Structure 1
Amino acid sequence: MVKWTHAERLWQGQALLMEPHQGFVSAAASGFRVPVGLGVTLMPLRHPYEAALQARSVAMTTGHSVVAGFGPGSRAFQAGLLGAPYASPLTAAREYLAAVRGLLDGEVVQNEGRYFNISAQLPPAAAPRVDVGLGVLRPGMAGVAGEFADVAITWLTPPDYLRDILVPAIRKSAEEAGRPCPRITAMVPVALERAQVSASELALASNAGHIQAPHYIDMLRRAGVQVSGEDPGETARALVEANAFVSGAPEEVAALLDQYRRAGVDEIVLNATGVRKRCGELEAVNDLKTILAAVAP
């Protein structure tokens, strides 16, 4: 669809069944060489050197630009892989992004940090641009994105919360750091209305794991979404009401997505996972085709 429509980039989040890097390379080998984005892979899974190497390898294989987004993941995930969670996820993200950006820029990166000790350089190679992204849910990480990221990547963030909280925090941090404001990419779960399944059921299928994670619950509460973390069905309904999960007729979906643009978002990622899980692959593809047509320039 990226190759044959006006969609601009193929995005994939972290997967634990098949790594997204390999998925992109497989698609490229099958003849589908398109710009791609990783939103986001989890820092505990790979050292910054390997992260830079993997991202550049995808750029070289596809022949297109890559947005390599990273995030610390949940505290439970950190502890499971590292033995203990990051005492300061913000510090870990600063060190990680600075190292990856430096390596991709061909620098000799020498960093003795709290979490990452590096003295290394990637071998020089001609490759399309790799932008470094950071997953952003709350103001603290928005500040880190403004300091170090090329792209700030959000997920499940209502447009009003982006407009009032995250976008100003990103812009303020970038200005204080004396650097351009990162582009802002909002990953938005979407579904067209259908008779056989409700929007809240699709929202739950799309986000069941996220809405039980403490950092997502905290973000949603900051956004004014009334969630307890104890009733997933209730939380899913609240996501729909807050337009964190976008659904409706095609023209309604287009209007709701425009709220993200007006909130300061540069790129919207359409995620039809809920439709795929409840209604099948063909239904998900048809939803994406219809929504892309509704928002055609």
Structure 2
Amino acid sequence: MTKLGAVFLPSNPPERLRDIARAADEAGLEQLWLWEDCFLNGGVAAASAALAWTTRLSVGIGIVPVPFRNVALAAMEIATMRRMFGDRAIVGIGHGVQEWMAQVGAKAASPMTLLREHATALRALLHGETVTTHGRYVRLDAVALDWVPDPAPELLFGATGPKTLRLSGELADGTILVAGTSPEGVAAARAQIGGREGHELVVFVPAATGPTAERRIAKQQESSGMDFAGAAGDAKAVAATIERFAEAGATTVVLQPTADDPEPEGFVRFVAEEVRPLIG
């Protein structure tokens, strides 16, 4: 069965998260995803709060930029969330937007090398290993977590380009694709990732409902330059779009509201109560 989620856009002020997360939980939404975009909401703080305010909802961070965090700190944060909230806490890692990474003085000369080193050390730490490594970017001396999560969490990569997709297929348990990826793009990404059994494929899909849905989706596509506009219309129309992504290989479809959505709480209820029953 295709998993279904929705996005809490970081353009919403942090104080809106509580009401939206609770609305999602009460409506039975499976997943609510957050972004750690610069310079908006902090992903770990926001996700932890959303998890504490809810009881059933899974909360994902898509993604945590690895240049931002020492890998030991990233492991401590992820382990803490998993021990507190179990598998409801989902964290993806990735390169981050290179322009933003440069702004904060964290841009790596080789993002691929950094991601490989970070992911390798992170996986080992989360599996309870003592890690010593002297890489180009990641350097640890006999580091081990005291509070290891059990079981160890899945490792997800945010990826777009072919090199990162191949690396995700090699090292990660799942891949997160950006909004605007078409169903054809999902199929192409699946091919780049390779045939690793059980590899999750999460895709963000722009979506809108209500009388102004088509206008808002068109406006977003024009302003963002997305290749794929998204889903606009009633629950049946949105569900038909989700099925196209599932057929292309997506295992989780996360619907992303437009920035000018008039009622974010209503959007998560729409996804959970009207769209979910139509998805196989």
Band of TM-score, shorter chain? 0.7 to 0.9
Deviations 1:19-41 (A, max 9, x none): 23222322343353533221111
Give the structure 1 partner of residue 128 of structure 2.
Answer: 106
Q: Is the Cα–Cα contact under 8 Å of residues 253 and 291 in structure 1 kept in the other structure?
A: no
Structure 1 Cα separation of the partners of residues 111 and 224 of structure 2:
29
Superposition deviation, residue 202 in structure 1: 5.1
Give the structure 2 partner of residue 42 of structure 1.
Answer: 65
Please state if 1:192 is matched with 2:209.
Answer: yes
Q: 1:270 aligns with which of 221, 239, 255?
A: 255
Give the structure 2 partner of residue 235 of structure 1.
Answer: 225
Structure 1 Cα separation of the partners of residues 273 and 57 of structure 2:
21
Please state if 1:76 is matched with 2:66.
Answer: no
Superposition deviation, residue 292 in structure 1: 2.8
Q: Is the Cα–Cα contact under 8 Å of residues 106 and 122 in structure 1 kept in the other structure?
A: yes
Structure 1 Cα separation of the partners of residues 127 and 152 of structure 2:
10
Corresponding letter in the other structure for 2:79? R
Corresponding letter in the other structure for 1:75? Q
Superposition deviation, residue 60 in structure 1: 1.9
Q: Is the Cα–Cα contact under 8 Å of residues 33 and 62 in structure 1 kept in the other structure?
A: no
Corresponding letter in the other structure for 2:49? S
**Structure 1 pair 130/65, CA: closer, same or farther in 2 (3 Å)?**
farther
Q: Is the Cα–Cα contact under 8 Å of residues 11 and 37 in structure 1 kept in the other structure?
A: yes
Structure 2 Cα separation of the partners of residues 148 and 137 of structure 1:
15
Superposition deviation, residue 193 in structure 1: 5.0
Give the structure 1 partner of residue 115 of structure 2.
Answer: 93
Please state if 1:25 is matched with 2:23.
Answer: no
Q: Is the Cα–Cα contact under 8 Å of residues 64 and 129 in structure 1 kept in the other structure?
A: no
Give the structure 2 partner of residue 116 of structure 1.
Answer: 138
Corresponding letter in the other structure for 1:103? L
Q: Using structure 2 for the length normalisation, give the TM-score.
A: 0.80
Q: SS of the residue aligned with 1:279?
A: coil
Deviates more, 1:69-78 or 1:282-291: 282-291
Q: 1:251 aligns with which of 236, 254, 261?
A: 236
Structure 2 Cα separation of the partners of residues 128 and 107 of structure 1:
13
Consecutive unaligned residues in structure 2, runs of 5 or more: 1-22
Figure out how many residues of one structure are paired with residues of the other and give that number. 255
Q: Using structure 1 for the length normalisation, give the TM-score.
A: 0.76
Q: SS of the residue aligned with 2:244?
A: helix
Q: SS of the residue aligned with 2:93?
A: strand
Superposition deviation, residue 137 in structure 1: 0.9
Consecutive unaligned residues in structure 1, runs of 5 or more: 175-179, 205-231
Superposition deviation, residue 56 in structure 1: 1.4
Give the structure 2 partner of residue 160 of structure 1.
Answer: 184
Structure 1 Cα separation of the partners of residues 53 and 266 of structure 2:
23
Q: Is the Cα–Cα contact under 8 Å of residues 208 and 214 in structure 2 kept in the other structure?
A: no
Corresponding letter in the other structure for 2:207? V
Structure 2 Cα separation of the partners of residues 25 and 33 of structure 1:
14
Percent of aligned pairs sharing the same letter? 23
Deviations 1:89-126 (A, max 9, x none): 22211111111111100011222212211221111445
Q: CA RMSD in A?
A: 2.6
Q: 1:54 aligns with which of 40, 59, 77?
A: 77
Give the structure 1 partner of residue 12 of structure 2.
Answer: none
Structure 2 Cα separation of the partners of residues 92 and 49 of structure 1:
14
Q: Is the Cα–Cα contact under 8 Å of residues 191 and 247 in structure 1 kept in the other structure?
A: yes
Q: Is the Cα–Cα contact under 8 Å of residues 103 and 109 in structure 1 kept in the other structure?
A: yes
Give the structure 2 partner of residue 146 of structure 1.
Answer: 169
Q: SS of the residue aligned with 1:198?
A: helix
**Structure 1 pair 293/105, CA: closer, same or farther in 2 (3 Å)?**
closer
Give the structure 2 partner of residue 135 of structure 1.
Answer: 158
